[in-house]
Structure 1
Amino acid sequence: MTVGVLCAVRGAAEAAIVQAVDGTCGRLTVTRRCADLAELLAAAEAGLGRIAVVSADLPMLDRDAVAALHRSGVRLVGLGDPGAPWLGERITALGADLVVDAPDDTAGAADLVRDVVEVLGRAADHPGRSGATATDRDARGPSFDPPDLDAVAVDRSGGTPRRTELGKVVAVWGPTGAPGRTTVAVNLAAELALLGGHTLLVDADTYGGTIAQAVGLLDEAPGLAAAARAAGQGGLDTELLARLSPVISPDLRVLSGISRADRWPELPAAALDVVWTVARTLAAWTVIDCGFCIEQDEVLSYDTRAPRRNAATLSALGDADEIVVVGAGDPLGVQRLVRALGDVAQLGLVGRTTVVVNQVRASVAGPRPGEAITAALDRYAGVSAPHLVPEDRSALDAALLEARLLHELAPTSPARRAIAALALRLVERPRQASLARPEGRSRERASVAAPRDAARLAGA
């Protein structure tokens, strides 16, 4: 079976590579010689090839472009320069599947193509090792399974010191209505740090991120945007991420978010995926404060590669080991929480979910607010044991006024004790691979029933 090759090579090496590909007796064929990155991406999207041979110094080549090639089912072979080893390191960091030196002559080009053919044969012998998912293969058709180019890829560590054990990622998310996502995220990160795990707190709320203000940091230079830029150019490592995230208390770092909502295009998903990966090598726990919106409709509005408005939140939720869903403890908050749990379940996430009901108080939920909220969530969302955080307005207001953490200002606060218990729960329980979904009730039934339950809750 002939496999198409897209060639975006600069300089004299292009002609040698094309000639070598034509000499593979039909195994490979050059289907498009691309003049620039835009033509390469268009050819990949059109399904004209399954392998792209690209110069490491191709203008505009970044992590997002490599991710677009991978989404199109194209594996990337990067051509480095022996005289400039940093080019090979850069394209490796961008996510290239195989990095080799650019050939100097016809013999070198033949050796390069022979390596690619060998990898193709290895992939045919071991189809299960392909990086493509079953869904991806079904969408592309039976023509070709991408080869396991990682089997011959160079070492991508780059000599960067790493933790011996990768850390966990916790995404704190909740529906609209200010249920207290930031409050929970900030103090959950602080409690995890107190339990002995070096923790990184990240503000990924692209609509109204305020973690910097909450902990008393300046946000003129958003750390997350700088990390995403470095990741997009293949330059993010553990040391740089540590420099971008100042320490605010023992074992607790903060990576500040964007200062204005209109800066959301600076946080593409492909770059953030790298940020979360590097964060695992820096901290035992990475706590990400996410925005409320998880809509994906905007992707249907584009027929070209374009940024996605909610990419930061979707990327964090998709990479998280633990997803903390925060809702407010009032009738409107319970209704929104039930609907939100159905929306999260539809994303097909793999992280374990923990439902947290914040601001629980008798004044709005009845004389036994905890029991009423637990019964409502069990009946309409299948959540049998939500984690309840009581309302403690005086302690929270004082902490916000002084830009301090709850455990520093009000160690005996009921809200602080509840969040500390949540942190201990995350530390002690084993990791599970599947997302907990409501059982026995459909999303539609939960959504319709929520208003009736909210009314009953208010009068409990």
Structure 2
Amino acid sequence: MDLLVAVGHSWEARLVERLSSVPGVVVSRRCVDLAELLSAVAAGHGDVAVVSGDLRGLDRESVAQVARHGVRVVGASPDGSEARERELRQLGVAGVLHPALETDEIARRLSEEDPDGIAGLALSGDDERPDLSGSGPVRAMRGPSVASAGARAGEGAAERGDLSQTPEVEQPRVVAVWGPTGAPGRTTVAVNVASELARLGRSTLLVDLDTYGASVAQFLSVLDESPGVAAAARASELGTLDLAALARLAPEAAPGLRVLSGIVSAQRWPELRPAAIEHVIDLSRGLADVVVLDLGFSVEDDEELSYDTDAPRRNATTLTGLAQADDLVVVGAADPIGLQRLVRALQSLPSVPSPPPRTVVNRVRAASVGPDPGRRIAESLQRFAGVEALHLVPDDPAACDAALLQGRTLAECAPSSSARDALRTLAADLVGVETRRQDGSRRRRRRG
């Protein structure tokens, strides 16, 4: 086993001597800094990289970069202190060793992928998480308790859609909202679906991950100066992001609805590195029952366009969101150009790691596709893209314009809107809840 060692200079010799005493282990290179370590890994050297928290520039992305080259990352500390080990684990390093360990234990930690059994740990229903409200520990329910969620659903049933049952507690889910270029209404759908999920009794976190035109903050009248996802990504890179810190960065925009705003300027996209975004999404599952991701349009793997394969990739944020999602909502526009783009987008999805899509056609109207627009759209998508199930959102410009002007959701400013009714049905479909339409008829969709 070839080791690459990059640790603090004051105790490097002691650690190297200890590692060299382990049978079958060879310290092939002692790297003076992070740049040398990354260069050695890129050149194909080493089986395991041993790093310490005091290595200048070490962050979550550099740990992930080493791992992408097939080199396992193991942490090291001079004295085995809990604080140093915690710092490394927050950067995504699973195993940590120190010179005082027995030889057999060092060999085990170097060989095993997850020697301490901590990788992939997630909050479960019986775990406690940091208090986000100042009233002591709370259960990892990801938001209000089941009782309070049910109470909200019962108290405002008529206004929220006449729920016929209280939602069952399930594992937190990540819903990605994506669609092709041309402004088909991705953010409109994401914001209003998130709002409806909160009104259905599910605590919801809306995350703006659009690296081309983030607009959730403006949509909901959230201060543009709010740090949001960029601050969360930076904290993740530095190993300081935890559930309480994420909650502080995602204020409540409405009861049960938190918002993690996007980057203020599209030029700041390099701040959103894949490893950090993956960590933010994973941690978000502990903050809400449902996490809704508003993604950018492009899924081109722009890494292939760069000579430097470790350079920042603008589309990596969208690709990471799609890969981490449990449900995918694909939004297209109801006009000839929008439908053509939607067909091509659906055809490109099999090459991208993502869950099966739920297709939504937005702004459905006869003026753009002819009489009986729903039937025409359904037939076209079934013929050219094999779409069997379809969600149609009627065009309601007056309601949507009023909501945008007021910085509110359709449920708040136009509760009787036909577009709101369709988006409420979509939200109910995502969580398997029965609702009633505006005409009073019941409708239940099964999640799948």
Provide the residue aligned with 2:201 in structure 1: 196
Match of 1:366 in 2: 370
Alignment partner, residue 65 of structure 1? 62
The aligned residue for residue 140 of structure 2 is: 163
> How much has 1:17 moved relative to structure 2?
2.9
Gaps of 5+ in 1: 121-146, 433-460
1:148: how far off?
3.1
- Conserved in 2, the CA contact under 8 Å of 1:361 and 1:391? yes
Aligned partner of 2:96 in structure 1 is 99
Matched, 1:205 2:199: no
Shift of 1:431: 6.6
Question: Which residue of structure 1 lines up, in the alignment, with residue 422 of structure 2?
Answer: 418
Aligned partners of 1:299 and 1:308 also within 8 Å? no
Q: Output the CA distance in 2 between the equivalents of 1:228 and 1:286.
A: 16
Give the direction of change, closer, same or farther, for the CA distance of 1:18–1:151 in structure 2 (3 Å limit): closer
Scaled by the length of structure 1, what TM-score is found? 0.82
How far is the alpha carbon of 1:300 from its aligned partner?
A: 4.1
C-alpha distance in 2 between matches for 1:245 and 1:24 = 47
Counterpart residue identity of residue 114, structure 1: D
The answer for the alignment partner of 1:377 in structure 2 is 381
Corresponding residue SS for 2:9: coil
- Distance in 2 (alpha carbons) for counterparts of 1:70 and 1:268: 15
Q: Which residue of 1 aligns with 2:145?
A: none
In the alignment, which residue of structure 2 is the partner of 1:151?
115
Where does 1:84-163 land on structure 2 (aligned, <5 Å)?
85-100=82-97, 102-103=98-99, 108=100, 111=102, 113-119=103-109, 147-153=111-117, 160-161=129-130, 163=140
Q: What amino acid does structure 2 have at the position aligned with 1:163?
A: A
Separation in 1, partners of 2:303, 2:421: 40
Correspondence for 1:24: 22
| Whole-angstrom CA distance in 2 between matches of 1:119 and 1:33 | 19
Contact 1:352-1:431 at 8 Å conserved across structures: no
Aligned with 2:310 (options 305, 308, 313)? 305
Q: Does 1:183 align with 2:180?
A: no
- 1:104-148 Cα offsets, whole Å, 9 max, x none, are xxxx26x2x53242356xxxxxxxxxxxxxxxxxxxxxxxxxx43
Give the equivalent residue in structure 1 for 2:5: 7
Instruction: Quote how far apart the aligned CAs of 1:154 are.
Output: 5.6
2:234 aligns with one of 212, 229, 247: 229
Amino acid at match of 1:150: D
Residue 5 of structure 2 aligns with an amino acid whose one-letter code is C
Structure 1 residue 41, shift from structure 2 partner:
1.1
Deviation at 1:175, TM superposition (A): 0.4
Are 1:286 and 2:291 counterparts? yes
Structure 2: segments with no counterpart, 5+ residues: 131-138, 142-169, 433-444
The CA distance in 2 between the partners of 1:329 and 1:220, in whole Å, is 34
Q: Which has the higher helix share?
A: 1
Contact 1:389–1:419 under 8 Å retained in 2: yes
Find the counterpart in structure 2 of residue 218 from structure 1: 223
**Aligned residue in 2 for 1:54:** 51
Say whether the 8 Å CA contact 1:57–1:87 is kept in structure 2: no
Output the amino acid matched with 1:218.
L
Counting matched residue pairs gives: 395
Alignment of 1:323-342 (within 5 A): 323-342=328-347
Tell me what 2:134 maps to.
Answer: none
- Identity of matched residues, %: 51
Task: Kindly indicate whether the alpha-carbon contact (under 8 Å) linking 2:217 and 2:223 is maintained by their aligned counterparts in 1.
Answer: yes
Matches within 5 A, 1:395-414: 395-414=399-418
**Cα shift readout 1:256-312 (whole Å, capped 9, x = no counterpart):** 111111010111111000000110000001111111111113444133522111121
For residue 45 of structure 1, report the CA deviation from its aligned partner.
Answer: 1.9
CA RMSD of aligned residues (A): 2.1
8 Å Cα contact 1:62-1:233 kept in structure 2: yes
